[in-house]
Structure 1
Amino acid sequence: MRILVVGGSGLIGTRVVDVLRGRGHAVTSVARTARPGVDHLLDLESAAIDDLRPLLAGHDGVVLATRADEQRVLPRPAYPALRRELVEPVVRLFTAARHEGLTRGVVMGSYYTHFDRLHPQWRLTAHHAYVRCRRDQAGEGRAAAGPGLPVAVLELPFVFGRAGDRLPNWAGPLDRWARSRAPLVVPVGGTATASVDSVADITADALEQARGGDVPVADENLSWAEMMTRIAGSVGRPRRVGRLPAAAVRAPLRCGGLLHALAGREAGINPAHLADLLLAELFLTPTTGRSLDPALRDTFAEPVPSAGGTPA
């Protein structure tokens, strides 16, 4: 197959390109900035359908592996700006892909959409503009693709790993915290986790099978305490990780949400409701059973630069 990977210079995109080529597929890599291995430069947010069609022509499938910063604080309401970043480019991309006769696609999404379906009483799309955009991205992207172009949406949790100098954008703060002398104290909840290698393998499988649907991805489910314990071990500073009382988690986040509201600002994930997520067990089943340890070592074996890396 011939596959176009949009966001091919990021952590996930780089690994997807490597895995697809390792399986014998021809890959075209597209990114916003020039880097070794990038075949074409494209800003997906500003690209029109007519800009995308020549890039997609002759390909069998397309992977969208661009990143989004769900914590970015924007003028209230945040949804229109996030929609321009997350939803509208996907609609144009898959409209162009349908016109060019592509037969399969994969979008890197968020596991928050999984929990929105599983727990509608949490009202995640009402509380968090980012989750609403991820839901709309999947639905409107598939509508644009049409029935002849199945689109698999990989619902991703925390993704660990390294591809050259590309790292998760949150790796730097956790790395510095784990290496510091500051106490490690975390909420009582937990999260699903995955390695970038698993994400790339599942992406390649979805393309080869022309698979559609929502695909939650997880290698291991970890409490926050388990995750920080293993990160501390990976950086060579193993120590006990304490647990914060729920009230100590809720109060500062609610204050942060109030301050944003008073300033006419809003984050993609609203801090006023973030504590509910941090205190929950955001676990996915089934898991792959693949150990996260190699990805943890890749992410944290060396000090992460202050600027961090660029995930997909």
Structure 2
Amino acid sequence: MRVLVVGASGLIGQHVVERLRALGHGATTAARTARDGVDHALDATRASGAEFRALMAGHDGVVFAAGADDREVPRGPAYPVFHRGNVAPVVRLLTAAREEGLTRAVVLGSYYTHFHREHPGWRLTERHPYIRSRVEQARLGRVAAGPDLPVAVLELPFVFGRARDREPNWAGPLDRWARSRSPLLAPPGGSAATTARCVAEVAVDALERASGEDIPVSGENLTWSGMIGRVAGAAGHPRPVRRLPGAVVRAALWATWAAHAARGRQSGLDPRHLGDLLLRELFIPPTRPESLDPAIAETFPRDRR
């Protein structure tokens, strides 16, 4: 099997490439910036269908491991920005894959699509432009692929791990906090979590099976208190994690929304409703149970320089 990996220089993309090659498959790599290990410099948000087809010739499958980050706070309205980053490139990519005769595809998405499906009453797509883009990415991508090209959508929670100089995009601020003298505070609630290595294993397995499923990926469910405490311990600065009242979190989020609105900005995750998510236990029954301690230690090494 030969696979094109779009976003191959990212944390998960690098692990996918490594996993493919370890199992004897071929991997062609594409990423926005030219660097060692990248076969083709390609901005997926700007690439045309013809450019995608040119890269796919002779391939069996494709992985989309790129996209717009949920932390972006563009000028409002925000949805067009997330559509350009998450939906439009996947539609062009999978249209090209169908036209080129590929037989399998994987899109790395978000576990918010899982909760949208399981809890429609939460109105996630109405409230959060980023989540709407991820739901539309899966739906319209499959429409573009057609019935003969199965598309597996991996619904990813927090991902721990490292690949060369790449780390999770949310890790930097948490690392600095964990190593500081500041007290550790955590609200109620928590999240499913997994590792970049596990995501790569699931992605390659889905390619080998030509799966067209929605696949939530989870290794452990962590309370926010447990996650922050384990991060601080891995970083070499263990200390108690104190409870942060949910009302304080909601007030801070509303203040954040007001600051964004004053500057004409709109977040991908609307702070006015974000407390409804952050203060829940966004848990998923572990699909590949594993201890996250080694990946947490890799993400937040004690001897970081």
For normalisation by structure 2, the TM-score amounts to: 0.98
Taking only aligned residues, the RMSD between alpha carbons, in angstroms, comes to 1.1
User: Where does residue 310 of structure 1 map in the other structure?
Assistant: none
Paired residue secondary structure (2:121)? helix
Does the 8 Å CA contact 1:258/1:272 hold for their aligned counterparts? Answer: no
Superimposed CA distance per residue, residues 100-140 of structure 1 (whole angstroms, 9 cap, x where no aligned partner): 00000000100011111111111110110000000000000
User: Where does residue 275 of structure 2 map in the other structure?
Assistant: 275
Q: Is 1:226 the counterpart of 2:226 in the alignment?
A: yes
CA 1:133/1:304 → structure 2, altered by over 3 Å: closer, same or farther? Answer: farther
More displaced 10-residue stretch of structure 1: 96-105 or 81-90: 81-90
CA distance in 2, matches of 1:229, 1:238: 7
Which runs of 5 or more residues in structure 2 are unaligned? none
User: Where does residue 210 of structure 2 map in the other structure?
Assistant: 210
CA distance in 2, matches of 1:104, 1:122: 32
Superimposed CA distance per residue, residues 48-98 of structure 1 (whole angstroms, 9 cap, x where no aligned partner): 111111101110000001142212111111001211111011100000000
CA distance in 1, matches of 2:258, 2:153: 33
Paired residue secondary structure (1:230)? helix
User: Where does residue 87 of structure 2 map in the other structure?
Assistant: 87
Q: Is 1:136 the counterpart of 2:144 in the alignment?
A: no
User: Where does residue 35 of structure 1 map in the other structure?
Assistant: 35
User: Where does residue 96 of structure 1 map in the other structure?
Assistant: 96
For residues 2-151 of structure 1, the aligned pairs below 5 Å read: 2-151=2-151
User: Where does residue 309 of structure 1 map in the other structure?
Assistant: none
Residue identity matched to 1:183: P
User: Where does residue 292 of structure 1 map in the other structure?
Assistant: 292
Which runs of 5 or more residues in structure 1 are unaligned? 306-312
Q: Is 1:243 the counterpart of 2:243 in the alignment?
A: yes
CA distance in 2, matches of 1:173, 1:260: 20
Does the 8 Å CA contact 2:234/2:302 hold for their aligned counterparts? Answer: no
Where do 4+ consecutive residues of structure 1 move more than 4 Å? 302-305
Q: How many residues align?
A: 305
CA distance in 2, matches of 1:141, 1:77: 23
| Larger RCO, structure (CA 8 Å, separation 6 or more) | 1
Paired residue secondary structure (2:51)? helix
Does the 8 Å CA contact 2:11/2:163 hold for their aligned counterparts? Answer: yes
Residue identity matched to 1:17: V
CA 1:152/1:250 → structure 2, altered by over 3 Å: closer, same or farther? Answer: same
Residue identity matched to 1:288: R
